[in-house]
């Protein structure tokens, strides 16, 4: 049985040249395009327009940093234990990017694509959003891309992203449906349910036509930069050991109090 050909246009090289997506890295790309453009080239095989570049750059920046998140703490503590492997510390942080923290752009995009897949161009998005919300909440499932433990009643990143999208011609039906879903969820629950940053990113990935399975990848790209930044700060002003020691001390004290209460001391 003949072997199946292995085809890839991602990259190739010979002793004196390197190609990326069929373009000469040294002659066509280095010094001529930016990181956002390179990201788009890698994801799609094409160079982006100026409008796509402006929007993608904002999307990549959005999740770079959010302070002492569980991901950042995991990175710092892993680096404390294994300073010889920076990549392991960054990977430890990225492994925490899921359906609770920073990874929900994927779920939001999947929801939006599914909702609009067979919807006519003049579909009532308010009604469609209500159906999405009712279906998910009745099934006791999380609605990705809305709500935030801190940013209420508005996630400050969302209107900025949507404004950039509008200026560049990418604020369309997916953004409108994401906003309608948030409003429908607020009506049903009586709680503040703003479109959060990952919901905005999911909607904008749809507007750009990216596969929903790649959406979390944009968050991974951005947050990797931030996690390397946390290691850089750890080198300057370390806090990982303090996090460890305070946590251990707090647990020891709570155990001592519980033991004392149990024996009636």
CATH number for the domain including 115?
1.10.230.10
List the one residue out of 86, 83, 85 whose CA is nearest residue 229. 86
Q: Is residue 67, in this structure, part of any structural domain at all?
A: no
What is the spatial distance between Cα 117 and Cα 228, in angstroms, rounded to a whole number? 38
Average pLDDT over residues 59-78: 95
- The H or E element that residue 13 is part of is strand 11-14
- The H or E element that residue 19 is part of is strand 17-20
CA dist 192 → 64, 106, 225 (Å): 25, 22, 31
Average pLDDT over residues 40-62: 97
Q: What is the pLDDT of residues 201-218, one digit of tens each?
A: 999 999 999 999 999 999
Q: Is residue 83, in this structure, part of any structural domain at all?
A: no
Kindly indicate the confidence band of residue 186, based on its pLDDT and cuts at 50, 70 and 90: very high
Sheet holding 17-20, edge to edge: 11-14, 17-20, 23-24
Q: Inform me whether the pLDDT recorded for 19 exceeds 90.
A: yes
Q: What's the structural domain count of the chain? A: 2
Mean predicted lDDT score pLDDT of the chain: 93
Q: Inform me whether the pLDDT recorded for 36 exceeds 80.
A: yes
What is the spatial distance between Cα 113 and Cα 91, in angstroms, rounded to a whole number? 29
What pLDDT, on a 0 to 100 scale, did the predictor assign at position 2?
81
Average pLDDT over residues 107-130: 94
Q: Is residue 178, in this structure, part of any structural domain at all?
A: yes
What pLDDT, on a 0 to 100 scale, did the predictor assign at position 100?
83
Q: Is residue 114, in this structure, part of any structural domain at all?
A: yes
- Range of 174's domain? 105-215
Answer yes or no: do 119 and 204 share one domain. Answer: yes
Q: Is residue 137, in this structure, part of any structural domain at all?
A: yes
* Structure-block tokens of residue 77: 């503590």
Predicted structure pTM score: 0.90
Q: Is residue 230, in this structure, part of any structural domain at all?
A: no
Contact between 112 and 174 under an 8 Å Cβ cutoff? The reply is yes
CB count in 10 Å sphere of residue 98: 13
């Amino acid at each position: 049985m003949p072997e199946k050909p292995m085809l890839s246009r991602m990259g190739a090289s010979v002793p004196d040249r390197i190609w990326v997506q069929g373009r000469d890295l040294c002659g066509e790309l280095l010094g001529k395009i930016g990181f956002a453009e390179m990201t788009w080239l890698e994801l799609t095989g094409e160079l982006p327009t100026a409008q796509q570049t402006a929007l993608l750059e904002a999307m990549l920046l959005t999740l770079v940093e959010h302070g002492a998140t569980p991901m950042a703490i995991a990175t710092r503590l892993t680096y404390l234990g294994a300073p010889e492997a920076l990549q392991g510390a960054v990977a430890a942080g990225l492994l925490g990017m899921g359906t609770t923290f920073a990874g929900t752009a994927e779920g939001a995009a999947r929801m939006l694509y599914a909702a609009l897949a067979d919807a006519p161009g003049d579909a009532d998005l308010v009604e469609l959003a209500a159906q999405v919300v009712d279906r998910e909440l009745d099934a006791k499932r999380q609605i990705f891309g809305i709500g935030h433990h801190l940013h209420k009643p508005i996630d400050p990143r969302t209107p900025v992203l949507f404004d950039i999208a509008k200026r560049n011609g990418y604020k369309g039906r997916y953004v409108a449906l994401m906003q309608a879903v948030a409003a429908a969820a607020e009506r049903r629950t009586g709680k503040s349910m703003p479109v959060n940053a990952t919901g905005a990113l999911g909607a904008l990935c749809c507007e750009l036509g990216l596969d929903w399975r790649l959406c979390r990848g944009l968050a991974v790209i951005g947050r990797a930069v931030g996690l390397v930044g946390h290691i850089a700060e750890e080198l300057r002003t370390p806090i990982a050991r303090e996090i460890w020691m305070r946590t251990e001390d707090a647990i020891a004290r709570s155990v001592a109090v519980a033991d004392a209460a149990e024996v009636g001391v």
